[in-house]
Amino acid sequence: MSFRHLPRYTFAMPDFIVIGAVKAGTTSLYHYLGQHPAIQMSSVNWTRFFHVDGDPPDFKTKEKTYGTELLQSSVNRYKNMCNPRIPTSIEDYLSLWNSETEGHCLGEVSPTYLHDPAVAPRIHARFPKIKLIAVLRHPVDRAYSHFVMDAREGWEKEMDFRKVIANEPYQIDDFWWGKRHYLRHGLYSSRIAEYLQLFSRDQLLVLRYDELNSQPEQFFEKLFEFLGVDKKHEVDTSIKHNAGLLRYRKQGEDKNKLYKFRAPELPSKFRSELTNFYREDIVKLQSLFGMDLSDWLSNSE
């Protein structure tokens, strides 16, 4: 898609986008941000607009590389992710904020934006001055939480996390909607660097997921100051959104019947191995933002 001759907009445009990461509290963040009287969130969470603001994926070309069976799985996933609630035009996207926007800071949350290399240039072409927010979680915890979610929903059939990780390189690795991107979605530094090639450093705020849980007041003070709204506004974080890990529905059975889901354990030795896998990327991330992530490396060997 060519981004030349983009239209001028005569109605409200978003001021910020939370770009990720997946399984880092972004669904809760969408609801928490909406509590601020000066912030108006999009009417749809996970708009996913900038995944499809352009030509659709060339599935035929992908088929030659990945084969019919794996490709069909991605086609089905794509259709599921891009459901009718997802805006397909810029006009539809901008209509996600109501007309009473004066004095409000407008925003949306789409955590898969961080992992899709096509998104950053699309956002920049539309809104080059927009503010971006990334919430990052310890990559091993993020990967395991992602796996537990997929297992709970019935998307992941293999219950041995080590086997799942071993199979990951054989999955389609450049489809943002693909499942089983457990390891890749935790390699943050290269994805963040791609955004910094287009946006200035002061347009991007990087926060830590653990701070959202352990020091929410400090977390939101930084966030609200970045957005230019009252940073002392108190947020009720007592409700955890999208945190249900105890019950699930079995695919192909009664949709109204819930079953207990017991997540398999993550062995400490394997956790250490995975932390070592991420070591180089974590060090790069520290250097990129001057962040102290030594605690992320504390259980590596």
Q: Is residue 137 part of a domain?
A: yes
CA 250 to chain centre: 25
Residues 279-284: what's their mean pLDDT?
A: 96
Q: Is residue 282 part of a domain?
A: no
- What is the model's pLDDT at position 139? 96
Q: What is the pLDDT of residues 212-239, one digit of tens each?
A: 999 999 999 999 999 999 999 999 998 7
Q: How confident is the model at residue 246 (pLDDT cuts 50, 70, 90)?
A: very low
260, with CB counted inside 10 A (0-12, 13-18, 19+), is: exposed
CA distances from 126 to 9, 53, 78, 93, 111 (A): 10, 10, 23, 12, 18
Residue range(s) defining the domain that contains residue 162: 16-243
Q: Is residue 5 part of a domain?
A: no
Q: Is residue 252 part of a domain?
A: no
Kindly tell me if the per-residue pLDDT of 247 is higher than 70: no
Task: Give the highest mean pLDDT range of 67-81, 100-114, 147-161.
Answer: 100-114
pTM: 0.86
Q: What is the pLDDT of residues 147-164, one digit of tens each?
A: 988 888 777 878 889 988
112, with CB counted inside 10 A (0-12, 13-18, 19+), is: buried
**222 CB neighbour count, 10 Å cutoff:** 15
Q: What is the pLDDT of residues 91-104, one digit of tens each?
A: 889 999 987 777 78
Q: Is residue 257 part of a domain?
A: no
Gap between the Cα atoms of 107 and 18, Å rounded: 8
Q: Is residue 255 part of a domain?
A: no
- What is the model's pLDDT at position 179? 56
The overall average pLDDT reported for the chain is 83
**Tokens for 39?**
């912030």
- What is the model's pLDDT at position 2? 39
- What is the model's pLDDT at position 8? 45
Q: How confident is the model at residue 11 (pLDDT cuts 50, 70, 90)?
A: low
Q: How confident is the model at residue 4 (pLDDT cuts 50, 70, 90)?
A: very low
CATH number of residue 40's parent domain: 3.40.50.300
Q: Is residue 209 part of a domain?
A: yes
Q: What is the pLDDT of residues 156-200, one digit of tens each?
A: 878 889 988 888 765 555 555 555 688 889 999 999 999 999 999
Gap between the Cα atoms of 203 and 127, Å rounded: 12
- Is residue 212 a contact partner of residue 219, using CB atoms and an 8 Å limit? yes
- Is residue 40 a contact partner of residue 105, using CB atoms and an 8 Å limit? yes
- What is the model's pLDDT at position 158? 83
Q: How many domains are contained in the chain?
A: 1
Phi, psi of 66 (to 5 degrees): -105, -10
Between residues 76 and 6, the one the model is more confident about:
76
* SS3 of residue 18 by DSSP: strand
Q: What is the pLDDT of residues 283-298, one digit of tens each?
A: 999 998 888 999 999 8
Q: How confident is the model at residue 52 (pLDDT cuts 50, 70, 90)?
A: confident
Q: Is residue 294 part of a domain?
A: no
